[in-house]
Amino acid sequence: MSFVSLNIESPTDAPVKLTRRALAKQRTRERVLSAARRLFTERGYEGATIRDIAQAAGMSTGAVFASFSDKSELFDEILTADYEVIYAQMKQAGVNAATVEEGVIGMFAVAYGFHVEQLPLLQASIAVSWTRSETAERRNRGHLKHIFALLNGVLTRGVERGELKTDADVKLLAEIIWDVYVANYRRAIFDAWSVEALLSRLSDQLKVILAGARA
Amino acid sequence: MSFVSLNIESPTDAPVKLTRRALAKQRTRERVLSAARRLFTERGYEGATIRDIAQAAGMSTGAVFASFSDKSELFDEILTADYEVIYAQMKQAGVNAATVEEGVIGMFAVAYGFHVEQLPLLQASIAVSWTRSETAERRNRGHLKHIFALLNGVLTRGVERGELKTDADVKLLAEIIWDVYVANYRRAIFDAWSVEALLSRLSDQLKVILAGARA
């Protein structure tokens, strides 16, 4: 009914027009993101310009800027989408684990498995993370909070079930584990290590890091 | 005797000429390195081109390429010179220490003190380290070998004096310590941490990392 009345009282296709516009905008964003992902992967962050990305997406640079304020926002959007893809799986691995080691290894097995398949993008994202603006750093730490919450959860459950000491510094342990987890990607990049090799190393590192915290 | 005969049989000023040429070449290298250090610091690695560097050094790009095969060699040369500046001090701090913690903290106090004074160059060097060629990575690992030897020395002396267990995995411990040492620079870059704050954090991290290795 309302559809019919609208059809009578306003320009006949107004609601349809709005939806079409929103859809078109969404499609533009997706085309830009897809072209950007490919070019960042092929050329790295510095090597891919907005002009290149626009051209690869078959649109003007103005059309790209209508969706994204700058290259850094475009890049972060790709990484955020990737976080969302792996977050649920990482959570499941962490929550279902019977031991701290099983939880940490399970979580990072998901992350290594995902990123090793797209190393050039990962390399660009780590490289950028060292030279970005403070604003971009804050935004990224916001994203990482969710991952750190999972890691803290795995460690806290270890304390609760008596696997780790009650006075274990969960936050510090999580940060050390994160630092070695990230550093291990160098082995994948420059030494062609497999996910299994990375996890075996992480397991050795975890034994060292957790040794003093075990109850 | 041979010197005299050379002086007679060849153009009298040949050896002097060679020395002058070598000196001029050395001066050119130094001018290029000095301009490059300034521009990499101001603009980052990607932001400074060989053309910019040549211009800042007051010479042609051809003259720059006569001394350095490419930008990456030029950049590595600056970092190598920096390693050499701090290596002796790091060694002294490591060798003279009474405990493992004192040795590690002493070594990295030198490194933090040095790099915190030139963070933009450090940021560029870490960023580049994630996207460089395998050849550049091998070359850099060669340079790091000396630093790792110092760190391994500090830990090995800890084992020898009975501070650490005889079966402590010195190599793995050194690598974990290195990973957190590097990761801590994020705090200096994005949170303006002082050298003292970085060392206090490293000290907390060391307690965790060494806990399981203590005799």
Q: How many CB atoms within 10 Å of residue A211?
A: 15
Q: How many CB atoms within 10 Å of residue A44?
A: 18
pLDDT in tens, B119-172: 999 999 999 999 999 988 998 899 899 999 999 999 999 999 999 999 999 999
Q: For residue A100, give Cα distances in angstroms to A103, A136, A165, A197, B113.
A: 5, 32, 12, 20, 36
φ and ψ of A154, to 5 deg: -60, -45
> Over 50: is that where the pLDDT of B3 sits?
no
Mean pLDDT of the region B67-94: 91
| Cβ contacts of A103-106, under 8 Å, gap ≥ 24 | A103/A154, A103/A157, A103/A158, A104/A151, A104/A154, A104/A177, A104/A202, A104/A206, A105/A199, A105/A202, A105/A203, A105/A206
Residue B202 to residue B208: CA distance in whole angstroms: 10
> Which residues of chain B does A189 touch, with a Cβ-Cβ cutoff of 8 Å?
130
**Residue B2's pLDDT band (boundaries 50, 70, 90)?**
very low
Distance from the B19 Cα atom to the nearest Cα atom in chain A, whole angstroms: 42
Closest residue, chain A, to B129 (C-alpha): A127
Residue B125 to residue B103: CA distance in whole angstroms: 25
Which residues contact residue B153 at a Cβ distance below 8 angstroms, ignoring those fewer than 6 apart?
Answer: B94, B95
Distance from the B96 Cα atom to the nearest Cα atom in chain A, whole angstroms: 26
Q: Structure tokens of B186?
A: 């994020």
Q: Are B142 and B78 in contact (CB under 8 A)?
A: no
Distance from the B87 Cα atom to the nearest Cα atom in chain A, whole angstroms: 23
Delineate the domains of chain A, giving CATH numbers in brackets. Answer: 1-68 (1.10.10.60), 69-215 (1.10.357.10)
A residues 107-166 lying closer than 8 A (beta carbon) to B: 123-124, 126-128, 130-131, 134, 137
Q: Do A130 and B137 touch (CB under 8 A)?
A: no
Closest partner residue to A205 among B134, B176, B189, by Cβ? B176
Residue B205 to residue A203: CA distance in whole angstroms: 18
Residue A26 has what pLDDT? 87
> Which residues of chain A does B208 touch, with a Cβ-Cβ cutoff of 8 Å?
169, 172-173, 176, 209, 212-213
Residue A39 to residue A56: CA distance in whole angstroms: 8
> Which residues of chain A does B211 touch, with a Cβ-Cβ cutoff of 8 Å?
211-213
Residuewise pLDDT in 10s, chain A (215 residues) = 333 333 444 445 555 666 888 888 889 999 999 999 999 999 889 889 999 999 999 999 999 999 999 998 899 899 988 988 899 999 999 999 999 999 999 999 999 999 999 999 999 999 999 999 998 899 889 989 999 999 999 999 999 999 999 999 999 999 999 999 999 999 999 999 999 999 999 999 999 999 999 98
A73 in reach of chain B (CB within 8 A): no
Q: What is the DSSP letter of B152?
A: H
Q: Do A172 and B123 touch (CB under 8 A)?
A: no
pLDDT in tens, B171-193: 999 999 999 999 999 999 999 99
Closest partner residue to A179 among B179, B190, B210, by Cβ? B179
pLDDT in tens, B10-24: 445 555 666 888 888
Instruction: Find the angle CA(A15)-CA(A18)-CA(A19) to the nearest 5 degrees.
Output: 90
